């Protein structure tokens, strides 16, 4: 208690900050009533300028006052902060993973009392890494140190990831069958339109191993020869991936189709399948075998196929008799099936003009060579190397081949002098097919417009391949063993499935964000860990309205 004079009546003490000349000062003040009962203030002590008070300079005063007041003296508390960990993105993916039942599927397929690692958690980490920060396997370990992954083992090492990949392939059939069970409820049993396509995946490594998947073949990205493996993807019209296949890098595409269809029919109880595939995959030669395969199980197989280019020569007379409607569609028959043709006049004009321009350019080149040869024959002295008819033939035919114009420009190799001609009949036949898409189908209840729309839906698989190669970064692959390559492909396929489910949910809610943009925004929801004295404290940053909208659009619970 503060002692006053006999004339004063004590009231209370407090601190005050006053300003003078642009500076702030800390003071201890006393509030009291004088002998007349009127309230008054007076300065007990000036503690100095606020901006010059060092951290902890008042601690001794505070402890002394606490002791006089009979209160417990609090020592200065030490607070330590750890690095913030991304949480919102892996939380959302984990909820979708559980909602699809992938955790239960892997648990059933990989159940083992001998295994001492949590394969499901390790596979999940590699899948999520492909979506959030695709890297090599060592990169997964670095990435795990930056995220608060739910339900993960305390310690994860590189060999744990490799052992998890091996476990996947040790039980590959069971794993894929169990995953298919979880996808079945999302597939229409009565009618499913199935899209199938293949892509090539570049791979590193020079050595060879037994049953090597790494083979040299035509790479679809570069157009050149590359060491690679081939990956096929089957998906529904809604964009939901159903299964994937892995083949050697030099496999013939048509040979992959029958095994794929057999697996689809085995794993998914679909009564009627409409198979949509590009001309390089489905040929008229194997349609009979595929139809018989479906009929063995009492199913119905229908197809929508782009007519292979090598069969266009059989369609010249048919195309000459086509009458297109106002939507540019016409229908006829070919090889015992419906032939549906879509015509785009603008595209046709572009293709025709481009062809004529290439022919004109090549003819100008030929005329120039003829002029040089005629000048030599007239006695002119040529500059540089002397021209010859044989040399002109060689240069001209090579230029025509490079321009892919051999059907339309022919050099007369039997003539003594260099000469050529334009095959106008071949040009006229080519013009018949300019701007057209020719489809063959055995469906009877789909209109021409619907068939064309179904076929154009095949482009969505191409978009999925772009996601695999850009957002998920499936390539280049550094694994050497065939089963490790297959495990890598399965992990990337699971990542693609999560990506597509996210896309479907965002689209259904009318949300404009892509899955990649959504994950980047959700990653900013972080988990924070701190230590206050001897007590550990953890918390999650409050989501922004935009992040809350994403959680709702993705059908995941509010973060806690």
Read off the CATH number of the domain in which 49 is found: 3.10.450
219: helix, coil or strand?
coil
Max CA distance (Å), the chain: 139
> What residue has token string 């550094």?
478
261, with CB counted inside 10 A (0-12, 13-18, 19+), is: buried
Dihedral sign of CA atoms 100, 105, 106, 111 in order: positive
Q: pLDDT digit string (tens) for 197-240?
A: 999 999 987 788 898 999 999 998 888 999 999 999 999 988 99
- How many domains does one find in the chain? 2
Residue 107 contacts by C-beta under 8 Å, 6 or more apart in sequence? 120
161: helix, coil or strand?
helix
Structural domain includes residue 380: yes
Whole-angstrom Cα Rg for the chain: 38
* pLDDT above 70 (res 396): yes
Nearest to 305 by CA among 173, 199, 189, 439: 439
Structural domain includes residue 328: no
Can you give the residue range of the structural domain that contains 362? 346-433
Q: pLDDT digit string (tens) for 508-560?
A: 999 999 999 999 999 999 999 888 877 888 889 999 999 999 999 999 998 86
pLDDT (mean) for 171-192? 89
Q: CA–CA separation, 117 vs 106, rounded Å?
A: 13
Q: Angle at the Cα of 159 (from 528 to 481), degrees rounded to 5?
A: 130
Structural domain includes residue 254: no
Nearest to 503 by CA among 328, 241, 179: 241
* pLDDT above 90 (res 56): no
Average pLDDT, the chain: 88
Q: Which of 387, 413, 433 is the last residue of a domain?
A: 433
Structural domain includes residue 508: no
Structural domain includes residue 383: yes
Structural domain includes residue 539: no
* pLDDT above 50 (res 121): yes
Dihedral, 128, 130, 134, 139 alpha carbons, nearest 10: 50
Q: Which of 433, 453, 483 is the last residue of a domain?
A: 433
Structural domain includes residue 157: no
Structural domain includes residue 509: no
Q: Whole-model pTM?
A: 0.79
Q: Which of 41, 61, 76 is the last residue of a domain?
A: 76
């Amino acid at each position: 208690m503060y002692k006053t004079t006999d004339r004063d009546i004590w009231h209370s003490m407090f601190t005050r900050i006053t300003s003078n000349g642009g500076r702030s000062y800390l003071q201890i003040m006393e509030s009291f009533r004088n002998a007349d009962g009127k309230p008054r203030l007076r300065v007990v002590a000036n503690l100095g300028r606020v901006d010059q008070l060092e951290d902890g300079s008042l601690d001794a005063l505070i402890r002394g006052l606490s002791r006089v007041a009979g209160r417990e003296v609090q020592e200065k508390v030490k607070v330590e902060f750890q690095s913030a960990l991304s949480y919102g993105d892996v939380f959302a993916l984990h909820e979708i993973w559980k909602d699809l039942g992938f955790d239960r599927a892997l648990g059933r397929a990989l159940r083992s009392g001998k295994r001492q690692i949590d394969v499901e958690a390790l596979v999940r980490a590699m899948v999520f890494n492909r979506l959030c920060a695709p890297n090599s396997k060592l990169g997964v370990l670095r990435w795990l140190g930056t995220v608060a992954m739910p339900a993960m083992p305390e310690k994860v090492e590189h060999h744990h990831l490799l052992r998890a990949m091996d476990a996947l392939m040790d039980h590959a059939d069971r794993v894929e069958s169990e995953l298919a069970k979880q996808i079945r409820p999302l597939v229409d049993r009565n009618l499913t339109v199935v899209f199938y396509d293949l892509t090539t995946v570049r791979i590193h490594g020079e050595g060879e191993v037994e049953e090597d998947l790494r083979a040299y073949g035509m790479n679809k990205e570069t157009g050149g020869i590359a060491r690679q493996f081939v990956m096929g993807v089957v998906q529904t019209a809604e964009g939901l991936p159903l299964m994937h296949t892995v083949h050697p890098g030099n496999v013939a595409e048509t040979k992959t189709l029958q095994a794929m269809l057999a697996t689809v029919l085995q794993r998914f109880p679909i009564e009627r399948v409409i198979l949509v595939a590009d001309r390089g995959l489905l040929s008229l030669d194997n349609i009979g075998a595929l139809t018989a395969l479906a009929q063995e199980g009492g199913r119905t197989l229908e197809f929508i196929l782009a007519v292979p280019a090598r069969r266009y020569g059989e369609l010249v007379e048919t195309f000459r008799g086509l009458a297109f409607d106002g939507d540019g569609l016409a229908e006829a028959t070919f090889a015992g099936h419906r032939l549906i043709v879509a015509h785009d006049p603008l595209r046709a004009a572009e293709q025709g003009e481009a062809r004529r321009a290439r022919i004109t350019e090549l003819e100008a080149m030929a005329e120039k060579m003829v002029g040089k040869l005629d000048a030599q024959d007239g006695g002119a002295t040529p500059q540089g190397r002397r021209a010859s008819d044989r040399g002109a033939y060689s240069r001209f035919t090579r230029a025509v081949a490079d321009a892919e114009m051999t059907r339309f420009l022919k050099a007369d190799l039997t003539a003594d002098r260099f000469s050529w001609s334009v095959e106008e009949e071949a040009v006229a036949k080519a013009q018949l097919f300019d701007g057209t898409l020719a489809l063959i189908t055995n469906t009877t209840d789909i209109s021409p417009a619907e068939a064309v729309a179904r076929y154009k839906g095949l482009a969505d698989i191409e978009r999925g391949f772009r996601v695999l190669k850009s957002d998920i970064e499936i390539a280049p692959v550094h694994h050497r063993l065939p089963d490790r390559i297959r495990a890598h492909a399965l992990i990337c396929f699971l990542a693609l499935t999560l990506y597509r489910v996210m896309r479907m949910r965002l689209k259904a809610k009318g949300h404009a964000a892509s899955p990649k943009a959504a994950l980047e925004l959700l990653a900013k929801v972080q988990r924070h860990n701190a230590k206050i004295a001897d007590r550990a404290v953890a918390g999650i940053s409050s989501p922004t309205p935009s992040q809350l909208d994403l959680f709702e659009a993705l059908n995941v619970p509010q973060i806690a």
